[in-house]
Amino acid sequence: MSRVYDALRRAEQAGVNLSATPAAGPVPAAPPLNGLLDLIQEVPYTPNPEAHMIDASRPEAAPAEEFRALRTRLNHMQSLQPIHSVIVTSTSPAEGKSFSAVNLALAQANISGNLTLLADFDFRRPIIHNMFQIERSPGITDYLLGKAPLHQVIRKISGTSLYVMPAGEAVLNPLELLNLREVKAMLIQLPSLFNWVILDSPPLLFAADANLLATLCHGTLLVVRIGATTIDSVTRAMQSLCQNNVLGIIVNGARRGELYSKYTYYHSYYYSYGNRSGDKPGGEPGEMQEQKRDQPPAAG
């Protein structure tokens, strides 16, 4: 069963620190973004029917339930540590980073007053604008290039606590742009305004973008996709992320009950979201699970 266990066991053997190291510490003081929220344009919520986005009006339906469980775990962590910015990443393309980032953001924003910003930092293959059917530009790259002020690159989704920052105009040099000090300043400032800042990102093993961004976020969520993600790539990813407070692993595409025994349900530190039918929309998802970090994963 346990491709993820095996992968993480190996990562542990390789000396990767999976312990709950505090996040980047208290949010450093940054100039306040007074009045920014009032200037942001509102757009209607028009989810792309192809995008497999959760339906907040049917909280019991899968996969909404799984993302609510992930939300609960993260909000619990936030009550213990000052974690307000999270990057969602994975080793390779098409493992469900955008799917997970969007649905986690929707689940968070479904709590009234829980201001959540979803930011598309995958400048190489941005998709968030497409999922919400909003304009890609002006977006983050336009702000970083000085072509648009911050309030213009954020849209508020009407009737929710969700704000979306699309990627912006295509750029030839994403990594160079991410190295600008404005990125760091932005990721220090925004969590003072939004309770959650959730970043979508490119795959870890294909570009340095996500690793760089992970150093600027309070936590990292690693998505693995059953049947696609290899153990070696997870090991390499965990090694590269070891200093960046990996909060958990989202297991995408697992069958319900496939990963853990009943016993491990209460003691697993991985978050899992899965779908009985793999990629097929409408299939039932798997379970979301958490394990205390000081306990070894049970075999099973």
The interface region with ligand ADP, picked from 14-22, 69-77, 97-105, 137-145 by CB under 6 A, is 97-105
Helix (H, G, I), strand (E, B), or coil: what is residue 134?
Answer: coil
Torsion-angle region of residue 283: left (phi > 0), alpha (psi -120 to 50) or beta? beta
94 contacts ligand ADP (rule: CB under 6 A): yes
Q: What is the number of other CB atoms lying within 10 angstroms of the CB of residue 110?
A: 20
Q: Which stretch binds Mg ion (CB under 5 A): 43-51, 52-60, 89-97, 250-258?
A: 89-97
CA 103 from centroid of its chain's CA atoms: 9
The answer to the question of residue 103 lying near ligand ADP (CB under 6 A) is no
Nearer to ligand ADP by Cβ, of 16 and 62: the residue is 62
* Strands, sheet with 246-252, edge to edge from the N-terminal-most edge strand: 41-43, 155-157, 162-165, 116-120, 196-200, 85-90, 219-225, 246-252, 271-272
- The whole-angstrom separation of Cα 119 and Cα 105 is 10
**98 vs 272, which CB is nearer to Mg ion?**
98
Number of residues that bind Mg ion (CB under 5 A): 2
74 binds, among Mg ion, ligand ADP, none (CB under 5 to 8 A by kind): none
Reading phi first (left if > 0) and then psi (alpha if -120 to 50, else beta), residue 274 is in: beta
Q: Which is nearer to Mg ion, 97 or 136 (CB)?
A: 97
Kindly tell me which residue out of 121, 253, 270, 272 binds ligand ADP, with binding defined by CB under 6 A. 253
Give the nearer residue to Mg ion in terms of CB position, either 98 or 252: 98
Residue 116 vs residues 165, 191, 236: alpha-carbon distances, Å? 11, 9, 30
Supply φ then ψ for residue 246, to 5 degrees: -70, 115
Is residue 275 part of the contact set for ligand ADP (CB under 6 A)? Answer: yes
Between residues 27 and 105, which has the closer beta carbon with respect to ligand ADP? Answer: 105
**Closest to ligand ADP by CB, 6 or 279:** 279
Pick the binder of ligand ADP from 97, 129, 155, 218 (CB under 6 A). Answer: 97
13 Cβ contact list (under 8 Å, min separation 6): none
State how beta strands 219-225 and 271-272 pair.
unpaired
Does residue 97 bind Mg ion (CB under 5 A)? yes
Site for ligand ADP in 38-77 (CB under 6 A): 51-52
Which member of 98, 108, 110, 244 binds ligand ADP (CB under 6 A)? Answer: 98
Applying CB under 6 A, what is the total number of residues that bind ligand ADP? 16
Nearest distance from residue 214's CB to ligand ADP, in Å? 15
Encoded tokens for 67: 């993302």
Q: What is the distance between the alpha carbons of residues 271 and 253, in angstroms, rounded to a whole number?
A: 12
What Cα–Cα distance (Å) separates residue 215 from each residue in 156, 183, 243, 261, 272? 27, 11, 8, 34, 24
Residues near ligand ADP (CB under 6 A) = 51-52, 90, 93-99, 127, 252-253, 275, 279, 281
Residues near Mg ion (CB under 5 A) = 97-98
